[in-house]
Structure 1
Amino acid sequence: MGRHSLPDGFRRGATGPRRRARRRNVALTTALLVAAAGGTAAAVDGGVLSFGSSCWDSAVRLRIAAAPGIAPALKDAAGYARDNDVTSDGSCLDVQVTAQDAYKVTDALRSNEKSATEFEAWVPDSGVWVSRIMADGKSVPVTPAGNVASSPVGVAMIPTAAKSLGWPVKTYSWTELADATTTSERLRLGAGDPSRSATGLLALTRLTHAVGKAKDGDILAAATAKALSLRASDSDSQVLDTLPRDLSGTEQGNPKRNQALILSEQAAFAYNTTADSGDDLDLFYPKDGSPLLDFPFALVDEPALTTDESRAALRFMTLLGEPDGRRILEKHGFRTDDDDIPDKLVTRAGGRAPQPYRELPDTPATDKEIEEALGMWTITVQSARLTTVVDISASMSKPVPGTSESRMEVTKSALSQALATFTPQDEVGLWTFSRKVDGERDYRVLVPTERLAGRAAGSTQRDLLSAAFDSLKPVKDGATGLYDTTLAAYKEATASYTKGKFNGLVLLTDGVNDDPGSISRSALVAQLRQLTDPDRPVPLIAIAVGPEADKKELDEIAEATGGSAHLVTDPSQIHSVILKAVVRAGDQK
């Protein structure tokens, strides 16, 4: 039998949930579809299996790490497999399920910790975790094989709060719900920390996408994130603990308790199932679409698995898509078919028509949108101290292909866009560099790094930066004094490190070092390593703008500080790249 042929009982399309065509689905990987036919028959003909023996004589042990929300359902499915002698190639499935927070498993996989390989399969609550692993070439590899369930994300409220907002008749968009719950102390909104909760992250992404369309959308998105951060919990299970202990009692007025939570339908279902009579949560489903937790099933370090292990994992996954498996999942509050949603599931979760519980976003959030939302969360919640160093050499006057603007003009616009996402407590500064732009120095400090709300000469720091960005222009015949500038800026950034904030240095250049009298690259890298302190991290975020920049060179320089280098062909990508780099640097802490 082929290394990756399918186990007995596999039926293509059996893996749930059944999905609308517009939904993104994780396809069963091609590698797992090779040589599907004839395996079990060959084993019987060859005498490997005997119909007179028990399948438990050759049971296959399968260890699964699962998100806490779905772990009870998978344990029930494992029990069903044991009780009914469900087999893979004639061997019984001995499935052991352990509940583990998805962010912890993600950290372990990315760090190659020993605990990361103590299970053969992983079922997190969202594909965002799998995408993060697959984008990291240094992680323990994971192989997505399908999705086993789904659950939309909405806003759950205690009955008195829901009634005050007109539940169930009145419907709200994400922005309207956020406005209603973040502008009124009476309706305190809690959420899982988006850096640790897929529920919180998907909701934040949807919120930032929605408010971003409005005037001053970036500022509104940052303000919403800041308001959410004040009541964020480390995990979805912890956020439920922030509700009043008695939803109908006097404790609902306790300022330390939340009246509303960003929650999945399944989490609300589980809460209401165990709550005392009359203490059920009511659930609002945003009319502009609820993002979905999609519960992917992935093999962990698949090349290292035995044939029996990988095939047993696939057999257990297909069981979850069969009628008995789907009943188990639905019993625990999960959707298994987007076009056939049990009314009792929605009702138990706190939903009721005319709440739009069938409405999904037209398109799921992209990886880029998710990374941008998470980056904004990082710099908004933690507060940031960033010094931006911009190349003003002559090459920045070159046009951006497909536009009528120069590299400098598009860069200025991108920097202004990024500035709008920072809060008054963030610290931002601006340096420029070319060659000998300030006497013998290759750099000039235009705006020292200070708090954006700070005032100087009658203007705020934000005003000064905005004006400085607008004034940027390339130096005629200016060369690129990259190395000396990088060293000077990094020395200043590490010397002025601010505890409790995300400290970083953002360097934008469209060329290579063009100063023959400067420090060498090897000497620069050596000095950067000496200046780097793990207890006071200041990652260098180097952005190579255009084809003339040397990303390999910037990789070496940035990595010496624990930072990262990024190549952008269009300077308008700078904003999203900065946010992505902030996320990456935060993950490495």
Structure 2
Amino acid sequence: MGRHSLPDQYGAGGSDPRPRARRRSAAVATVLVLTVAGGTAAAVQGGLFSFGSSCQDDPVRLKLAASPDLAPALTTAAERARDQDLTSDGRCVAVTVTAGDAYKVADTLLAGEKTDVQVWVPDSDVWLRRLESGSGTAEVSQVGNVASTPVGMAMVPAAAKSLGWPDKTYGWLELAGAALRGDSLRLGAADPAHSATGLLALTRLSSAAARVEGGDTQAAAMMKTLSQRITDSDGQALGTLPRDASGAEQGNPKRNQALVLSEQAAFTYNSSADGDAGLDLFYPEDGSPRLDYPYTLVDRTGLTTDESRAAIRFLSYLREPEQLRLLQQHGFRTSDEAVPDALVTKAGGSRPQPYTEPATEPAAQETLQEALGTWTITVQSARITTVVDASSSMAQKVERTGRSRMDVTKASLLRALATFTPEDEIGLWDFSTKLDGDRDYRVLVPTERLGARVDGGTQRDRLSAAFSNLAPVPDGATGLYDTTLAAYKAATSSYAKGTFNALVVLTDGVNQDPGSISRGKLISELERLTDPARPVPLIVIAVGPDADRAEAEQIAAATGGSGQEVSDPAQIHSVILKAIVAAGARAAGQG
């Protein structure tokens, strides 16, 4: 019968980035350690160790859902724990491990559906943050981390050598650019909407692009190319590599020569590869994000005391030297300070690749959301009409910049425009009372494909000029209701099947046209025009202190869209992306 140490820290991989989880873990560890300090006799009396009968007679049963890459190691650890009679308060801990894609578990929890698992170990805390920022009622509580692994770019040896591996190092933007330049090197990845590996790499690419002039357009072009070679999961991505080491399939256009991949995934692949069929791994010099495998209690308030304590007990068991070695044998890192050379070598790493550099700081949720929003509108062609308030109040200064609301709005819209591809259809209206005869609105640029040739240039050129020429109308008031209804009628009547359709309305005030329809009439008309089979979500963005967020939400909700609020027009770009990815996710769920 084995004896096992109680938890003394939150988990593998250094300090917990989530302060409240760290505080809770410390408190749990302190209580349990003090229990041990009470002496062996007290422990026996309290039932921590059982000598008279088998603890297997009445075990605490836990179901644990783990990321597919981690599940084999945790399954072995759970079997060892049963063989060694791991106990919690005198009862055996019986853990059953199942593999489950993190995005599927997250979607289940976001939908408020019941799950029969008590512990969830996804590959990244990006899924926990998605739950926190979502509208679901899922209750999860991170109490530690199990392991970690950095994300880089793996290549078949011939491709890696052509880029100077291992002596030459690249940043994310350079590496992606080299891999996506023409057809000489085919790069694949798992869908960032379904893969933390893909999303973290995409976010690093987007952040790097933001620091380069014209980087937004460059990143969007890379994403469009990459989107042609994505798979649903990391495991499926590995299946796109050449199937032999001879190089016979290197010219096969259906086979990738490079993948966005975690070190652990490359380790596992190389461990089973024959001869020279393994992968070489680039670690980007501007930092590798990492998968951090958070150990999470699901529906914590619904767990029994025995279940909660047993779950913490199993986490402490995973911190024992024997289990840490097990995790390393499966290609995971268990410490930030010591990176085993054998692990890196098997994964395809080699000096001077910066594989011992600390992982980059976790990206902010807003940064992740913006990257995913850009990906969403890049991968799926979009048809979006933007309607901009041109009332006189848009001439007011934004205190932070000293520029007018309209000038800052235009700059933000031009930045957003750069993320769309030539296949996307974008149009522009503006509105103010009596702007076009008795109408409060006018069509400045009809909604057409950005790559379409018009007037000696392209639709993108025409839109860029129209955005730049937007100007407040002197003495103009906000004709919001009539404009919104007219624009929504136009958007629904010109619905494009197979693309993401949306209407974006930006306003810095409430409706000021006394002759317009009422808010109630507008909402009822929007509801009448809305067709779930042909969704056109309305995204209303309330800009500045005079706009009404509650009204924006109420109007947009009638179409399945969303109301947003920004205090600074410079935030419009990221808010549009956030709203688009949310609307796209809802539309996918309904489909």
For the aligned pair, the TM-score class normalised by the smaller chain equals over 0.9
Aligned to 2:378: 380
Of 160, 172, 175, the match for 2:173:
175
1:41-95 per-residue CA deviation (whole Å, 9 max, x = no partner) reads 7896578986423222231111111111111111111112111111222221111
Aligned to 1:296: 294
2:570 maps to a residue whose letter is: S
Written as runs of structure 1 = structure 2, the 5 A alignment for 1:100-249 is 100-114=100-114, 117-249=115-247
Structure 2 residue 18 is the aligned partner of structure 1 residue 28:
no
Deviates more, 1:134-143 or 1:55-64: 134-143
User: The residue matched to 1:448 in structure 2 has which SS?
Assistant: strand
CA distance in 2, matches of 1:573, 1:225: 22
CA distance in 1, matches of 2:268, 2:182: 28
Do the aligned residues in 2 keep the contact of 1:15 with 1:322 (CA within 8 Å)?
no
Aligned to 2:59: 59
Aligned to 1:70: 70
Aligned to 1:448: 446
Do the aligned residues in 2 keep the contact of 1:26 with 1:145 (CA within 8 Å)?
no
Do the aligned residues in 1 keep the contact of 2:440 with 2:479 (CA within 8 Å)?
yes
TM-score by length of 1: 0.94
User: The residue matched to 1:504 in structure 2 has which SS?
Assistant: strand
CA distance in 2, matches of 1:28, 1:561: 39
1:398 maps to a residue whose letter is: Q
Aligned to 2:330: 332
Deviates more, 1:426-435 or 1:169-178: 169-178
User: The residue matched to 2:126 in structure 1 has which SS?
Assistant: helix
Do the aligned residues in 2 keep the contact of 1:288 with 1:361 (CA within 8 Å)?
no
Do the aligned residues in 2 keep the contact of 1:159 with 1:247 (CA within 8 Å)?
no
Q: How big is the shift at 1:455? A: 2.2
CA distance in 1, matches of 2:180, 2:397: 43
Q: How big is the shift at 1:535? A: 1.8
Written as runs of structure 1 = structure 2, the 5 A alignment for 1:292-371 is 292-360=290-358, 362-371=360-369
Distance 1:420 1:346, change over 3 A: same
Of 9, 19, 27, the match for 1:13:
9
Do the aligned residues in 1 keep the contact of 2:125 with 2:292 (CA within 8 Å)?
yes
Q: How big is the shift at 1:506? A: 0.8
Do the aligned residues in 2 keep the contact of 1:192 with 1:234 (CA within 8 Å)?
yes
Distance 1:337 1:27, change over 3 A: farther
1:150 maps to a residue whose letter is: S
1:264-309 per-residue CA deviation (whole Å, 9 max, x = no partner) reads 0000001111122221111111111111111111111111111111
Deviates more, 1:148-157 or 1:509-518: 509-518
Do the aligned residues in 1 keep the contact of 2:48 with 2:89 (CA within 8 Å)?
no
1:236 maps to a residue whose letter is: D
Structure 2 residue 256 is the aligned partner of structure 1 residue 258:
yes
Aligned to 1:521: 519
Q: How big is the shift at 1:30? A: 4.9
1:203-240 per-residue CA deviation (whole Å, 9 max, x = no partner) reads 11111111221121110010110111111111101000
Structure 2 residue 497 is the aligned partner of structure 1 residue 502:
no
Distance 1:172 1:280, change over 3 A: same
Q: How big is the shift at 1:364? A: 2.8
Written as runs of structure 1 = structure 2, the 5 A alignment for 1:45-56 is 51-56=51-56
Aligned to 1:547: 545
CA distance in 2, matches of 1:50, 1:276: 48
1:92 maps to a residue whose letter is: C
CA distance in 1, matches of 2:246, 2:278: 10
1:462 maps to a residue whose letter is: R
Do the aligned residues in 1 keep the contact of 2:10 with 2:22 (CA within 8 Å)?
no
CA distance in 1, matches of 2:473, 2:320: 67
2:423 maps to a residue whose letter is: Q
CA distance in 2, matches of 1:566, 1:60: 46
CA distance in 1, matches of 2:488, 2:111: 27
Aligned residues: 577
1:487 maps to a residue whose letter is: L
User: The residue matched to 1:204 in structure 2 has which SS?
Assistant: helix
CA distance in 1, matches of 2:372, 2:184: 27
Following TM superposition, the consecutive aligned residue runs of length 4 or more in structure 1 with deviations greater than 6 angstroms are 38-44, 46-49
Distance 1:118 1:546, change over 3 A: same
Do the aligned residues in 2 keep the contact of 1:26 with 1:146 (CA within 8 Å)?
no
Do the aligned residues in 2 keep the contact of 1:386 with 1:503 (CA within 8 Å)?
yes
Do the aligned residues in 2 keep the contact of 1:408 with 1:473 (CA within 8 Å)?
yes
2:85 maps to a residue whose letter is: D
1:339 maps to a residue whose letter is: E
1:306 maps to a residue whose letter is: T
User: The residue matched to 1:28 in structure 2 has which SS?
Assistant: helix
Distance 1:14 1:565, change over 3 A: closer
CA distance in 1, matches of 2:71, 2:48: 34
Aligned to 1:93: 93
Distance 1:237 1:48, change over 3 A: closer
1:535 maps to a residue whose letter is: A
Do the aligned residues in 1 keep the contact of 2:10 with 2:143 (CA within 8 Å)?
no
Aligned to 2:280: 282
CA distance in 2, matches of 1:381, 1:438: 37
Structure 2 residue ranges without an equivalent (≥5): none
Of 417, 431, 439, the match for 1:419:
417
User: The residue matched to 2:141 in structure 1 has which SS?
Assistant: strand
TM-score by length of 2: 0.94
Structure 1 residue ranges without an equivalent (≥5): 1-7
Deviates more, 1:429-438 or 1:219-228: 429-438
Aligned to 1:428: 426
Distance 1:46 1:255, change over 3 A: closer
Identity across matched positions, percent: 61
